[in-house]
Every structure is written in C-alpha cells, then in structure tokens.
Structure 1
Amino acid sequence: MKYTVLLCLALICLFATGCASKKIKDIAYFKQGETTVPALNVFVPRKRKPEKLPVLIFVHGGNWNTGSKDTYGFLGRNFAKKGVITIIPDYTLSPAASYDGMAHEIAASIQWAKQHIAQYGGDTNRIFITGHSAGGHLAALAVMNPKYGISPKSISGIILNDAAGLDMKHYLEENPPQQSNNYTTTWTTDPDNWHDASPIYFLDKDTPPLLIYVGDKTYGSIKVANQRFLEALKPYQPKVVPIHLNKKHVPMVTQYFWPFNKRYKEIKDFIESH
C-alpha cells in the first residue's frame, strides 16, 4: 500500500512538472566539417515571463563513455518549473572522442547559450553550469581551462555534483589508463594531457563561484579528488564548504527526479545570490 501511494505521488509530480514546462529538443549546437553533431535540449517554463530568466547548463555523466541528454528530462523539467531555463547537451563519448573533444563540445554548448538562449527567455548574463560525475569534470574543465575559449567571468557559477575527474593527473599516476575502459583513448597515455584534463590545475582568482556536492557513500576516487580540489580552491574561495549527502554516486543525480528535493532550493538560492 505504501509503495502504491508513493508511486502515485511520483507520477502526479512527474505529470505536474511536465505540464509546467516545455522542451525544445535536438537543437544542433556544434558543427564539425560537414557533419553537425551533437545536439541539445532546452527546457523553459510553459508560461513565459517578461523578465529574463537565469540559465543552467547540465552536463550528464557516465564515465565519459555512456549517457544521453534524453535521460535527464526530469531534471530539465523540474528546474524550468522553478524558473530556471535549463540546457542539456549531448556530447561525443569515448572511444569516439577524448576528454579534449568532449570539453570542446561542452564549451560550444556554452557559446550556443550565449548566442541563442535570449530568444527562449534566458538571461545571457546569468549562465550557470553544472554536471554529475564525468559531467561535473567536463563542466568545470570547459570553463576553467583557457584553451576552450570560455571567459570564466562570463559564467555566473559552477555547481559540481559528485564530480569525477577533478584531478585526473593524480588519479592516472596511481591508476595508469587501461584500454578495457577506453581510458587510453579518453585520457591518452601522455601525463601532459592528464594535467591538461584536470580542472584542479586551472583554479585561480577568476574561477566562477562554486557550489560543491559530495556523496558520503560515493567512490573513494571521487572523495579524494574533491578533497584535493577543495584544498586547492581555498586560497581563492575560502568560504566554500562542500555539502555532504548520505548517498552513493548514482543517487546523487537520481534524487532530482523528485521535484521537491531540497537540492532544487539550494541551487536556486545559489543562482539567485550570484
């Protein structure tokens, strides 16, 4: 009986959030030669307000070799219902792309937002980016590594949700890349590339404000990388305190299925304060 009630409540919430928002799907944002790949989805409130709304780009995770923008429609709908226009891009996965190609594409999705989101009611001066797991890595890297051409001052904030890969140099020095998980393709075997792929080495005074979530039951490598990242961040943003949640890695993102999850308010407050 309890399970039935909870299921009914979840379906009611899903229906309500779907009715309150609109999805514009499969918009091409990155052209490579004659082929246009990949695409993104945009979620907006169904009833447009006269004022421009903040924009949140969500980058999905999946160990850099799996995942799809279409899995996370619930997150886009819920944020749009709460007055945050949400962009969810796909990106080319390993082994078809390395971390560098992926980061270039995420940077291109940010550029697309700057150029086009105003027509959907978004404020180009209030663009935030977030990501879970590998998506957190790519969100941070695309903004923080200057090679990708995104001015950190053009991003109002970065929200990391149990982000992986924040210090790939440290991780790969201890765990050399293996072909079995595509890591020799994703990261190559060149330590210079491992450094280039690690957001931790690009922290500086211009790094956008950070909000950081870490699961207390997540993978050990993610805990270590986040701790190292936070220590390196202290000289620039000493007031940042990570929010620890009693969750494993995957539930850190599936919790967003529930539209009344506290994370939505925390993130909305963070957005409104920046």
Structure 2
Amino acid sequence: MSRFPVRRLALLGAGAAAVTLTLSACSGERVQNAVNATNSTRGLRVVLDQRYGPDARNRLDVYAPKDARNAPTLLFIHGGSWQGGDKSGHAFVGESLARAGYVVGVMNYRLAPQHRYPSYVQDGAAALKWLRDHAREFGGSPENLFVSGHSAGGFNAAELVDNARWLAEVNVPVSSIRGVIGIAGPYSYDFRQYQSRVAFPEGGDPGDIMPDRHIRPDAPPHLLLVAEKDTTVHPQNALNMEAALKKAGIPVQRVVLPRLNHVTVIGAVARNLTWLGGTRAELIRFVEARRLK
C-alpha cells in the first residue's frame, strides 16, 4: 500500500468530452462526481444525513428505488486512507446501485488521526445496524444485507464483518449478511511502513489488526475486486485475504479487472463510466447470485 500519490487522470466523459482533473489516487471523489454529474437521482428515493451515532461524522445517505420491495440492502464505505473522504463524493455509488434495484446506504465515519482503529470499524458496524433496523422503511430486506467498500473502506467492510467482535457489539447477526464486496482493499499490509500508520494505534501490530487475521468461521462469501493497474494498494493484499478466507472454508472470488487503477476501479461503478471496466457488473453479478430470492 503506497502513500496515495497525487496523479493526473484523463477520462472521457459524456459526449466524448475529455475531462482532466488532478485528484487523490485514494478516493478520486472529484473526478468521480464531475464525470458522473449526468446521473440524476430523479425517480429514486434519496434521504440524506441520517444519524447512526453521536459523532458529527456518524451520518449516512440512503438511495433506494421508489418501488423497492424486499430488495437487497447494501452498505458502502468510502476510502481515503482513513484520513479523508466523504459520502457526498460517492453519491454516484448510491445512485448507480439503487438503479440496479438495491437499497444503498453510503456512510461517513470518524477519521484518523483523531480517531484510530478500531473507531472507524465500529462506526461501520453501527451504520450497518442502522441500515438493517431501517431497511424496511425503504423497501429493503434486513436479512438480505451486503457490505462493500473501496480502498480503506474495503478494509473496514471486511474487518467489521469478518472479526466477530464488531457485529456482536451492535447485535447484528452475521447470518443476515449475504456477502462482502471489497474493492481494492488493503486487507493485509504492514501499516508501520506508510503514512497511513496514523490510522492505527501507536505501537500496534499489523498481525493483530489486519482483516486477514480475523476470519470468523461463519463469515459470508466474499468478492475481492482487484484493479490490474493499481499502484496504491498492492494486489498481494487480495491474495493474502483470499488465502485466509479459503483456509477458513469461506467461499471467495478474487477478480482482477483489466486496465483499471486505484481510482478508476471505483469510478467504474458509475453508470456512465462502465466503459472503464467491469466493477459495476461484477458487483451486481455477485449480489444477484447471493441475494435472497
């Protein structure tokens, strides 16, 4: 996992117009929303800033089809090296997956260095509990849950589900979770070598913290999406996570997406950027295969 360098990325937007923006290689929020501005939420039910905890960052936005009934319910967690990022920069994820027929919660969480591990993981568990408790209000199913995240959010998604401690703290049964979708997540790395160490306890041991060390025996199936051109999160993270899941007997699919990098792998969730690569299609394929019918 690198230091999330700043890069210049050129994307072809709607009408074949060239859009070039300087962006953070970890989250890419500005480019994602700039090129995704045409994806209106018209026809969806959108409810913003729902409070799931006491902190100012304990908020989530819900995107749902207006006619949803017993739909899969998905929590999405943004990236940002645990130190940045915002749910508003990932509105395109909520819009895109709600158009696929899902009830989607896009969450914020407390940020490092003020809030270190496990604060942001506990926030994810609390947000999942809120989404489960309120799923029926939006036409979603509380027993048909999926958890997904990009980059640091992929770590959070895996850790909050796979480490039995966090779901137990909020009284969410793991049996209600149908699957975990990690997108370019750093599930297995030595944070002490990188600037992201400020997101973890001083003197912390990666062996006690990384999600690949915490696989519960009753974990749900996982989809690990890897960007072929990712130079921010090394693909060894997904290989180690895949091996740990297989050792525990947990079904896992690791899919390497051609041409995509750390930014475009999440940007490709946007409906008008699917030409970039297969992130959205793979995510939907996994949910459809795992959802309760």
Tell me the TM-score normalized by structure 2.
Answer: 0.79
Q: Partners of 2:14 and 2:126 in 1: how far apart?
A: 44
Identity %: 24
Match of 2:267 among 238, 249, 254: 254
Matches within 5 A, 1:120-199: 120-148=138-166, 149=168, 150-164=172-186, 166-168=187-189, 171-172=190-191, 176=192, 181=195, 183-191=197-205, 194-199=206-211
Alignment partners' CA distance in 2, 1:11 and 1:83:
24
CA RMSD of aligned residues (A): 2.6
CA deviation string 1:108-139 (max 9, x = no partner): 00110121121111111111010010000001
1:270 corresponding residue in structure 2? 286
Which residue, out of 16, 24, 30, partners 1:6?
Answer: 16
2:47 is the counterpart of 1:24? yes
Kept in 2, the 8 Å contact 1:177–1:184? The answer is no
Q: Which structure has the highest helix share of the two?
A: 1
Which structure would you say has the larger Rg?
A: 1
Equivalent residues, number:
257
Structure 1 counterpart of 2:118: 100
Q: Which stretch has the larger CA shift, 99-108 or 14-23?
A: 14-23
CA gap 1:243/1:28 in 2 versus in 1, 3 angstroms: same
> Where does structure 1 differ by over 3 angstroms across 4 or more consecutive aligned residues?
10-17
Change (3 A) 1:189 1:82: same
Unmatched segments (≥5 aa) in structure 1: none
Take 2:198 and 2:273, find their aligned partners in 1: how far apart are those partners? 41
**Contact 1:158–1:211 (Cα < 8 Å) also in 2:** yes
* CA shift in 2, pair 1:77/1:220, >3 Å: closer
List alignment gaps of at least 5 residues for structure 2: 1-11, 19-32
Q: What is residue 56 of structure 1 aligned with on the other side?
A: 74
CA distance in 2, matches of 1:6, 1:130: 30
Q: Residues 267 and 273 of structure 2 are in contact (CA less than 8 Å); yes or no, is this contact kept in structure 1?
A: no
How far does the alpha carbon of each residue in 1:147-178 deviate from its partner, in whole angstroms, 9 at most, with x for none?
212443221100011112x124xx24xxx356
Contact 1:75 1:256 in 2 (8 A): yes
Q: CA deviation at 1:241?
A: 3.7
